[in-house]
Structure 1
Amino acid sequence: MSNLDHISHCYFIGIGGIGMSALARYLKQAGKNVAGYDKTPSALTEQLVSEGINIHYQDDYDSIPAQYKDVNNAQVIYTPAIPVDFGELVRFRESGITILKRAQLLGQISKTMTCLAVAGTHGKTTTSAILTHLLYESKVPMTAFCGGIIEKYNTNYIHTGNKVMVVEADEFDRSFMNLQPEIAGVTAMDADHLDIYGDVEEFEKTFEDFASLVPQGNLLTTEVVSLPGKKVGFNNGDYQILNYRIQDESYYFDFKTPNQLFENIKWNLPGKHNLSNAALAMSMAVEYGVQPEKLIKALGTFPGVDRRFTYRLNSDELVLIDDYAHHPTEINAVFQAVSELYPDEEKLVVFQPHLYSRTKDFMDDFAHSLAQFDQVYLLDIYPARELPIPGITSQSLQNRIEKITSGITSMVTKDKLENELQRSNKRIICMLGAGDIGVEIKKIAAKWVK
């Protein structure tokens, strides 16, 4: 963080974001004065306030204390999710103060430690969280910036030292190109963010560019990734998952490194995709130099990540699963997991599409992924940073699904969702999406648990 050594005050625009809040915590812990703006209060902003970080919720440059506007001693950090014409951002630019994107600050920090970066269209949050837990339990001094809340720790930021940095390498806005990774893992390269990249070829080229940042021999990928590097796969690769099986709702598997075979390892997160994530995280830790025996012991205590196949309710009467899945491949992974766990039961999914552009780009893929479920409820598209696209609606997605399946597909509003779920009489319910559906499922779970 040498570039910020002279900085005393740091102001975050969009401080409540999962990545921004971790950086705010890092700078606060480093002795900086930290404040920021976010659109609405949330559990994350409340936690930041409790840690001594000042946050306001109005676009009001004039109310920001003068110390955070000092061009010599202050630094502004913003997320690309903030519109370019946002008032505070415009005024800060006019003032001449130094402004960094979130990814640029992460890049600066990555140069001060041994950086272990996890990239990929899906699974990077879970994989980086697993890697964080493995290193924490193995007593490696590290600083971790996670893209989700690790449940046992109840935080997205963990600091035990400055030897190693664990970071989620985000492909959105080409953010990961700012990093300086010593070891990197790539979970998947399914196309996404085509509103940014334009086409699949450009998307894949940027992953190739990211791979070129990694020292030769230090890139690890799952077997579905076409990049050159050490492979982590089922029954093949430099690191192998062997003999995996389900017993009492847990996975058991053997793990083969380039030098050793370890048998009968227990893993608690459902889904073959999460088993792949765990193997990639273990492989990265082995490449860093942690003894596999320590990692295997730690793996059995990984508590999970909030909204990554999180059980909100799990009883003989009702199973309510909350997942961030917002891409067709991720929906497929959730369906695969629930099908393995509950092969003989009907399954209902509630899906909130995220972004008009993503819904447009993958309309048919979404329809086929969702049609696998016995019953589908669709919420309106969560727009996030986007304006509507003519003809792209949840209703148009419903029409596509109904051409594929004879199962029940319905539009539903948030205020009627609870009643509709009760009427369905389904025991297995999955609620998926990257918007505010996570808030709705917690409300419903809180009512039903009483």
Structure 2
Amino acid sequence: MDRFPYVFFLGIGGIGMSALARWFRANGHRVSGYDKTETPLTQALTAEGILVHYADAVENIPAEIRDNLAQTLVVFTPAIPADSQEWAWLRAQGYDIRKRSQILGVLTQGRYTIAVAGTHGKTTTSSMVAHLLHHAGLDAGAFLGGIAVNLGSNLLLPKTPSAPIVVEADEYDRSFLTLFPDVAIVTSTDADHLDIYGDQPALIDSFCQFVAQIKPGGTLLLNHTADSRVAAAVPAGTRVIRYGLTAAQGPELFAGDITAKGHRFHFDLHGPRGAVAGLALAVPGYHNVENMLAAAAVAQMQGLGAPALRAAVAEYRGVKRRFEFVVTTPQNVYLDDYAHHPREIEAFLRSVRALYPGKRLRVVFQPHLFTRTRDFAKGFSQSLSIADEVFLLDIYPAREMPLPGVTSEIILANITAPTKAIQTKEQVLAAAKIDESFDVLATVGAGDIDTLVPQLKLILSQRWQ
């Protein structure tokens, strides 16, 4: 990478792309990029000295990029539309253009790599690993798919070349196949990204290829829900540690004595490197206890003893938009979560119900992608029906064009919650100002629903004070 003093990002506002942009800038490269929408994340990049523009036009590419073809690396995300003018021009000119996943593969080559994969749970789990190591004072780096609250960033810079690197290993577009980890965690293998894979067996095949790339003598931590074919695909000599909440689910790694007190989940860890009692996790949810089990076991492999582990777990504060408490009063709560798969939504809402029994729960959900909505409409309806009130926004298209007959209506039709409707963002905000029918509000989704969060925070902070 040293031969490229200039690096240009197509889709720089993506959470994984922005982490790479920050890495290159921290290592002395001149970084710039394009994204279609200005967000708090792109504003943060600009504040850090990275030039970002928002109109797709060749003349907006910085002159230093246009004038230095041989010295420029272009990094792109698969979310960039095929008709992008800038992408077409850069290809035509012959720039060195690589996917984000390819760059991650290069940056982790020759380093001790901890890769966290899974159709859901990987961002939280990778941030947990990074936090535990960092809190204990160990030198480590991390490329994360979310803003870790403790770090205040999606990037943790290592101090030395020998430091382990924690990487979120994304299955979308088979991106994680550029990685060859020493330690891998697979949190889940549920059907997703069927627009890429076609069916779940093809997705499972990709996970099998990923774990087959674990380095000789490495370790795989495998969630009890993962497809059995994944464990069978590991290379000879790779240790497989299955984990779950109970000994029946994770005979090698499991939790004991789980209790929920306030916002904290208390539990003991039982694993290959011994038991650690008295762990207290401030990010609620049984799924997060599972995630922390895997992260803590990896931290133990890196040398963390029980006291350091206990202290680090207690200080973990989660990832932005993952079970994030936005407004909290004695009577009311507003939560925000990135969940965009039926199983994620179910886990999130069941945890909310467990924390606030008897409270009236309103959920505002924005479906993400037409293909995902088509493939999992019934699952979305079922998981959202856990709430008392469900309001759906229109589908966030991201990289996709509309599909005939695929709208939020196909989710709404099978929701059994007493109150349900499709609303605009303006209607959601208007209802929040005057409607007192709910005690707990949750905004859920992976599109641009997060633009509502600061406005809802202001409205509800004033109403509930």
TM-score by length of structure 1 reads: 0.95
The two structures, once aligned, show a CA RMSD in angstroms of 1.5
Structure 1 position 68 matched with structure 2 position 61: no
Deviations, residues 44-101 of structure 1 (Å, cap 9, x unaligned): 1111111111111122223433432423211110111001221111111111111000
Query: Which moved further from structure 2: 159-168 or 188-197?
Result: 159-168
Counterpart for residue 6 of structure 1: 3
Q: 1:40-119 to 2 correspondence within 5 Å?
A: 40-69=37-66, 70-119=68-117
Mapped to 2, the partners of 1:387 and 1:85 lie a distance apart of 12
Q: 1:200-219 to 2 correspondence within 5 Å?
A: 200-215=200-215, 216-219=217-220
Deviations, residues 169-221 of structure 1 (Å, cap 9, x unaligned): 00111100011211110111111000000011101110111110113541111
Look up the equivalent residue of 1:307 and give its one-letter code.
Answer: R
Structure 1 position 223 matched with structure 2 position 224: yes
- 1:388 paired residue among 397, 402, 408: 402
Q: Is this contact kept in 2: 1:21–1:48, CA < 8 A? A: yes
Counterpart for residue 130 of structure 1: 128
Counterpart for residue 180 of structure 1: 180
Mapped to 2, the partners of 1:53 and 1:185 lie a distance apart of 33
Deviations, residues 134-153 of structure 1 (Å, cap 9, x unaligned): 11112221221111111233
Deviation at 1:294, TM superposition (A): 1.7
Mapped to 2, the partners of 1:440 and 1:79 lie a distance apart of 25
Counterpart for residue 440 of structure 1: 452
- 2:371 paired residue among 354, 357, 360: 357
Q: 1:369-384 to 2 correspondence within 5 Å?
A: 369-384=383-398
Q: Is this contact kept in 1: 2:131–2:150, CA < 8 A? A: no
Query: Which moved further from structure 2: 47-56 or 284-293?
Result: 284-293
Q: Is this contact kept in 1: 2:370–2:395, CA < 8 A? A: yes
Counterpart for residue 303 of structure 1: 317
Look up the equivalent residue of 2:184 and give its one-letter code.
Answer: A
Deviation at 1:31, TM superposition (A): 0.9
Deviation at 1:243, TM superposition (A): 1.2
Q: 1:406 to 1:283 in 2, by over 3 A?
A: closer
Q: Is this contact kept in 2: 1:140–1:164, CA < 8 A? A: no
- 1:336 paired residue among 327, 339, 350: 350
Mapped to 1, the partners of 2:26 and 2:263 lie a distance apart of 40
Q: Size of the alignment, in residue pairs?
A: 444
Counterpart for residue 258 of structure 1: 272
Q: 1:114 to 1:31 in 2, by over 3 A?
A: same
Q: Is this contact kept in 2: 1:381–1:394, CA < 8 A? A: yes
Q: Is this contact kept in 1: 2:337–2:444, CA < 8 A? A: yes
Q: Is this contact kept in 2: 1:232–1:283, CA < 8 A? A: no
TM-score by length of structure 2 reads: 0.92
Runs of at least 5 residues in structure 1 that lack an aligned partner in the other structure? none
Mapped to 1, the partners of 2:120 and 2:285 lie a distance apart of 13
Runs of at least 5 residues in structure 2 that lack an aligned partner in the other structure? 232-239
Deviation at 1:374, TM superposition (A): 1.4
Structure 1: 4+ residue segments shifted above 4 A: none
Deviation at 1:413, TM superposition (A): 1.1
Q: Is this contact kept in 1: 2:386–2:417, CA < 8 A? A: no
Mapped to 1, the partners of 2:304 and 2:372 lie a distance apart of 39
Look up the equivalent residue of 2:225 and give its one-letter code.
Answer: V
> Which secondary structure state, in structure 2, belongs to the residue aligned with residue 270 of structure 1?
coil
Q: 1:317 to 1:246 in 2, by over 3 A?
A: closer
Deviation at 1:424, TM superposition (A): 5.0
Q: Is this contact kept in 1: 2:377–2:411, CA < 8 A? A: yes
